[in-house]
Structure 1
Amino acid sequence: MKKSGILNRHLAGALAELGHGDTVLVCDAGMPIPAGPRVVDLAFRAGVPAFAEVLDGLLDELVVAGGTAAREVREANPAVARLLAESLPGLDLIAHEELKRRSADARLVVRTGEARPYANVLLRCGVFF
Structure 2
Amino acid sequence: MGNGVIVVAQGGCGNNADGCNGGLGNHISMIFQDGDRSYGALFMHLSSTAVGQLAVVPAGTVIGYTGNSGTSTGPHVHIEIFDLGPGTVVDGLNLWNNGYRTAQFGLGGSSGGNSSLCDYRGGYPCRTDPGRYVYKDIINR
Return the structure number with greater relative CO, CA threshold 8 A, min gap 6.
Answer: 1
Same structural fold, with TM-score higher than 0.5 when normalized by the shorter chain: no
Mark the structure with the bigger radius of gyration.
2
Q: TM-score, with normalisation over the residues of structure 1?
A: 0.24
Which of the pair is proportionally richer in helix?
A: 1
